[in-house]
Structure 1
Amino acid sequence: MASKLSDIPYSILELATVAKNSSVKETFDRSLDLAQKAEEMGYSRLWLAEHHNMVSIASSATSVLIGHIAEGTKKIKVGSGGIMLPNHSPLIVAEQFGTLGTLYPNRIDLGLGRAPGTDQVTAQAIRSDRMKSVFKFPEEVKEIQKYFSVENAQEKVRAAVAEGVDVPIYILGSSTDSAHLAAEQGLPYVFASHFAPAQLHQALSIYHNNFKPSKFLEEPYTIAGVNIIAADTTAQAEKISTSLIKMMLGVMSGNIDYMQPPEDFTNEHREILAHPGFQRMLKYAFIGDPGTIKEKTEAFLQETGVNEIMAVSHIYDHQERLKSFEIFSEIMKGNI
């Protein structure tokens, strides 16, 4: 691990969360504003998730939204966190990201996952044969790599817009399965510890111990997600966090709704945060003032040894969310 925070790249995972009394258009405008501000703050990349059939999350047409964000920014890397590959044809993914990589050279990342990004009924509606694709995930990752290669110009089936275009592939996961795949194929590995922390350490160990250098990557490279809710005071951050608490309770109960405005933080909220069931999802939710966030971030990086940290911030008010990301950037720059 790097010796200090300022040596660690820091990034953002954006879900385009729709707040109560906000439109999808307003949500997209705020996502772009966040990306523009994040670029100024020194964030390395901003990735868009893929979710379906959720009123609270607008990042459904991921590649379209990536293009929107890339067009409105200048240098920050923009990518998918991730494209849920079993929902899609590898050829179409290669064509879409080859197009993006041509329009925005050296700025597009392709993160690939195998989860549906939705419930099973919706997953069936997206692609009725998706389970066949789930089992073929490793082969379909290689298929996308083939479409991006210049050698594929000799094949009958081509993604001509992708051939020779530099779009790095990242393997996403929330279990140990993806760690084996990323290690075997010599690809960077991204773990969803912001909502599924249970197997983080085991997955990282598997990845490092089994990593095979490839033409894409000589040494292991890991990114891990954390929830960040930072404010000037811990009391402010705790109040802001009540929106996240309500959102996660909705996810756990199957009652997903728009992101709700914050409310006063009570002992009941504190007990919910400490509950084992909640901790299974939000163990790595760093909530507090700058000093608290810095301490927890340093401990996380020391504990995991990841190469890069990716922040997720579910915050109702846009200005408070920008403030949270600003505090986190100052921490990672070593200014706090």
Structure 2
Amino acid sequence: MERREDIKYSVLELAPVLSGGTPRDSFDNSVALARHVEKLGYKRFWLAEHHNMISIASAATAVLIGHIAGATESIRVGSGGIMLPNHSPLIVSEQFGTLGQLYPGRIDLGLGRAPGTDQTTAHAIRPDRIQAVHHFPREIEQIQEYFSPENAQASVRATMAEGIDVPMYILGSSTDSAYLAAEKGLPYVFASHFAPTHLFDALNIYYNNFKPSAYLSDPYTIAGVNIIAAATDEEADRLSTSMVRMMLGVLTNKMDYLQPPIDMTPEIRELIENPAFQRMMKYAFVGSKDTVKEKTAQFLKDTGVNELIVTSNVYDIKDRLKSFTIFSEVMHELNMVEQSA
């Protein structure tokens, strides 16, 4: 696929809880990261919704969005995403309408249908969740209605949301949501940072079936990638051991706090080569600036997406900030090349 415009770049934050740290430490690190990437020209800073995971502190997503928005000045802040079947459309509309009132023109509402947790916890969140999954398209429409000025005449209102500009995005990790985003004429965000298998099928479905809407005239796509950038390939490999051990916890259902990096060992190399790990982390670009730049350029050429949303599971906040700094330089250089072509 061919690129069509300068590529925006954004952050997907899980507020990782570090070994030896606390959730409050994670929130402070998230604020530091948001302020840092705001200065570097990142487009948006999204928080993910996860539950019952000791290594992720972004469970109360809307609350954390408000915290980040209040600590920054211009970067867009939003959800990547709110898992709608966990929630009432009215409550989501009230929460994000309130955020939109507090931070005009800066709030995004990304919506997904996955649980963001295990099935037992999902049932504890909302016992009728399976039914809500099937109602996902209709519940999106309900949120659109609550945000519409015309809803002022309805018997049920989210008054703080009416007429407020909070763009909606459809999130997906399979092809189902691609059809939905195309049908509704909404931007589409694919979770290729952890579920890359259906990326190209989903993008093709979205592009080929897109219907212009009052919200969007042309298709708009965002894809997730993992970035760990450092001064050298060797240092980036070392930093990536924290991510590798975190992913091992995901694959084995033995979640742990994000661990400090260690020297790359033959055992970790073997784990990285495991087919299951390779499938999950296909779009993890680890290395020096030149290495990350080469891999990112190829990904953009292959996908033709409008925007990248980056997650970086690095233990030390200083190394994490540096990784995002290097990636901003990569994107600036790639966009400059595109402009001169």
Q: How big is each residue's C-alpha offset from its partner over 1:132-191, in whole Å with a ceiling of 9 and x where there is no partner?
A: 110000000000000000000001000000000000000000000000000000000000
Q: Which residue of 1 aligns with 2:240?
A: 241
Q: What whole-Å deviation, never above 9, does each CA across 1:108-154 have from its counterpart, x for those lacking one?
A: 00000000000000000000011111000000000000000000000
Cα separation, 2, equivalents of 1:161 and 1:289: 46
Q: Which residue is 1:173 aligned to?
A: 172
> What is residue 159 of structure 2 aligned with on the other side?
160
State the distance in 2 between where 1:316 and 1:30 align: 11
Aligned residues of 2:49 and 2:80 also touching (Cα < 8 A): yes
Paired letter, 1:116: P
Aligned residues: 334
Name the counterpart of 2:228. Answer: 229
**In structure 1, distance between residues paired with 2:260 and 2:4:** 39
Partner of 1:109: 108
Corresponding residue number in structure 1 for 2:52: 53
Given that residues 4 and 304 in structure 2 are in contact (C-alpha distance below 8 angstroms), is that contact kept between their aligned partners in structure 1? Answer: no
Q: Which residue of 1 aligns with 2:339?
A: none
Instruction: State the one-letter code of the partner of 1:214.
Output: S
1:64 is aligned to 63
Equivalent position SS for 2:33: helix
Q: CA deviation at 1:267?
A: 2.9
Q: What is the deviation of 1:266?
A: 2.2
Per the alignment, residue 81 of structure 1 pairs with 80
Give the residue type in structure 2 aligned to 1:160: T
Structure 2 counterpart of 1:37: 36
Distance 1:137 1:323, change over 3 A: same
Aligned partner of 2:11 in structure 1 is 12
Deviation at 1:3, TM superposition (A): 6.8
- TM-score normalized by the length of structure 1: 0.98
Q: How far apart are the structure 2 equivalents of 1:171 and 1:3? A: 21
Q: Which residue number corresponds to residue 306 of structure 2? A: 307
The answer to whether the 8 A contact 2:13-2:311 is kept is yes
Distance 1:279 1:183 in 2: 29
CA offset digits 1:242-267 (Å, max 9, x no partner) = 00000000110010010011111123
Structure 2 counterpart of 1:240, which letter?
L
Secondary structure of the residue that 1:264 maps to in structure 2?
A: coil
**Identity percentage over the alignment?**
64
Q: Aligned-pair distance for 1:275?
A: 1.8
Q: Deviations over 1:206-228 (max 9, x none)?
A: 00000000000000000000000
Q: Which amino acid aligns with 1:44?
A: K
Is there any run of 5+ residues in structure 1 with no aligned partner, and where?
A: none
Which 5+ residue runs of structure 2 have no aligned equivalent? 337-341
Separation in 1, partners of 2:118, 2:274: 25
Question: What is the CA distance between 1:271 and its match in structure 2?
Answer: 2.5
The separation in 2 between residues aligned to 1:256 and 1:216, in whole angstroms, is 39
- The one-letter code matched in structure 2 to 1:292 is T
Structure 1 residues 134 and 3, CA, compared in 2 at 3 Å: closer, same or farther? closer
Are the equivalent residues in 1 in contact too, given 2:230–2:289 (CA < 8 A)?
yes
**Pairwise CA distance, 1:274:** 2.2
2:137 is equivalent to residue 138 of structure 1? yes
Q: CA RMSD in A?
A: 1.1
Aligned-partner residue type, residue 264 of structure 2: F
Distance in 2 between the 1:293 and 1:183 partners? Answer: 31
Return the letter of the residue paired with 1:56. S
**Distance in structure 1 (CA, Å) of the matches to 2:266 and 2:216:** 48
Look up the SS of the partner of 1:59 in the other structure: coil
Q: Distance in 2 between matches of 1:271 and 1:110?
A: 39
- Runs of 4+ in structure 1 displaced over 4 angstroms? none
Say if 2:288 is the partner of 1:292.
no
How far did residue 280 of structure 1 move? Answer: 1.5
Deviations 1:40-80 (A, max 9, x none): 01000000000000110000000000000000000000000
Q: Which residue of 1 aligns with 2:202?
A: 203
Code of the aligned partner of 2:147: F
- Once residues 130 and 275 of structure 1 are traced to their aligned partners in structure 2, the CA distance between those partners, rounded to angstroms, is 34
1:281 and 2:275 aligned: no
Separation (CA, whole Å) in 1 of partners of 2:330 and 2:167:
28
